Amino acid sequence: MSDVLISPSILSADFAALGQAVADVDAAGADMIHIDVMDGHYVPNITIGPDVVKALRPHSAKPFDVHLMIAPADPFLDAFIDAGADFLSIHPDAGPHPHRSLQAIRSRGAKPGLVLNPGTPANVVAPMIDLVDMILVMSVNPGFGGQSFIESQLSKIECLRKMIDQTGRNIVLEVDGGVNPQTAQRCISAGATALVAGSAVFKGAGTLSDNIQALRGPCARAAA
C-alpha cells in the first residue's frame, strides 16, 4: 500500500457493471474503494443503498470507504457496516448528535469518519477528533461527480493537517472532488494522505492502472 492512498469513486463507474468495476480498480492498484451513498434529501441525487454495498463486497478485499451523504444517518449505520463498510463517514449535520454517531460506528468495529463540506469550517472537527479515523474534505459541493476543484479547500486541508499532527494519531486526511493529477499534487502538499478520484480514474485517457498511477506520480513527488 502506498504512502498516499488512492480511493477510486465508483460513482463514475458503469452502474450496469459495478461488481466488475470494483474488481478492475482493485486489480489496477487502488488502495480503497470509495462508495458514495446519496439519498436525494441531504444531497440532490440518489445512488445506492446497503444491499448494493453487500453485493459488491465479494468483488474486492480492499477497504470499502463508504461516504454517507444521507440525513438522518443514524438509522442506517448498522446496515452499511453489516454490508461491509470498513470506513464509514458521516456529515456532522446529518443528525442531531454526530459525537454519538461516531461512537456507534466504532462500537460496531468500523472506522468512523467525519466529512466537511466546502462551507463547513475545520474547527467543527475539534470536539470529535479523538473519535475519528478519517477526516474527509469535500473539495466540491457533494451530490454529483465531475465537478471542478474548489481552491479554498487547500487552506482547510492545511489546518486539518496541523490538528491531526497534534493528536499524534494516524488519522486519514482524505480529499474528494475535482481530484486529478494536477490537483492531487496540491492536496498532498497541503497535507492530505488519501485521494478520492472518480472521473480521473474511470474516465481518464489511459487504462485504470495508468490513471491511478498518474495520481500517484504527483503524490510521490510531494512526499519526496
Average pLDDT, integer, range 112-125:
97
Q: What is the pLDDT of residues 44-54, one digit of tens each?
A: 999 999 999 99
Number of alpha helices (DSSP H) and beta strands (DSSP E) in the chain:
8, 8
Cα angle, residue 107 at apex, residues 173 and 135 outer, rounded to 5°: 10
Any binding-site annotation on 144?
yes
Residues with catalytic roles: 36, 176
Q: What percent of the chain has pLDDT over 70?
A: 96
Q: Which residue has the cell 474503494?
A: 33
Q: Is the pLDDT of residue 218 over 80?
A: no
pTM beyond 0.85: the answer is: yes
Any binding-site annotation on 149?
no
200 close to 8: Cβ distance less than 8 angstroms:
no
Q: What is the DSSP letter of 149?
A: P
User: What is the per-residue pLDDT for 2?
Assistant: 52
Any binding-site annotation on 146?
yes
Tell me how far apart the terminal alpha carbons of the chain are, to the nearest angstrom.
Answer: 17
Q: What is the pLDDT of residues 64-94, one digit of tens each?
A: 999 999 999 999 999 999 999 999 999 999 9
Q: Is the pLDDT of residue 221 over 50?
A: no
24 close to 211: Cβ distance less than 8 angstroms:
no
The more confidently predicted of residues 220 and 96 is 96
Any binding-site annotation on 7?
no
How many domains does the chain divide into?
1
CATH number at residue 157: 3.20.20.70
User: What is the per-residue pLDDT for 210?
Assistant: 96
Range of the domain at 100: 5-223
Local structure of 200: helix, strand or coil: helix
C-alpha separations of 61 from 22, 52, 209, 222 in Å:
10, 16, 18, 28
Q: What is the pLDDT of residues 173-190, one digit of tens each?
A: 999 999 999 999 999 999
Considering the chain, what is the average pLDDT of its residues?
A: 94
Question: Which run of H or E residues covers position 78?
Answer: helix 77-83
Q: What percent of the chain has pLDDT over 90?
A: 91
Any binding-site annotation on 60?
no
Any binding-site annotation on 67?
yes
Q: Is the pLDDT of residue 36 over 90?
A: yes
Distance CA 112, CA 106 (A): 6
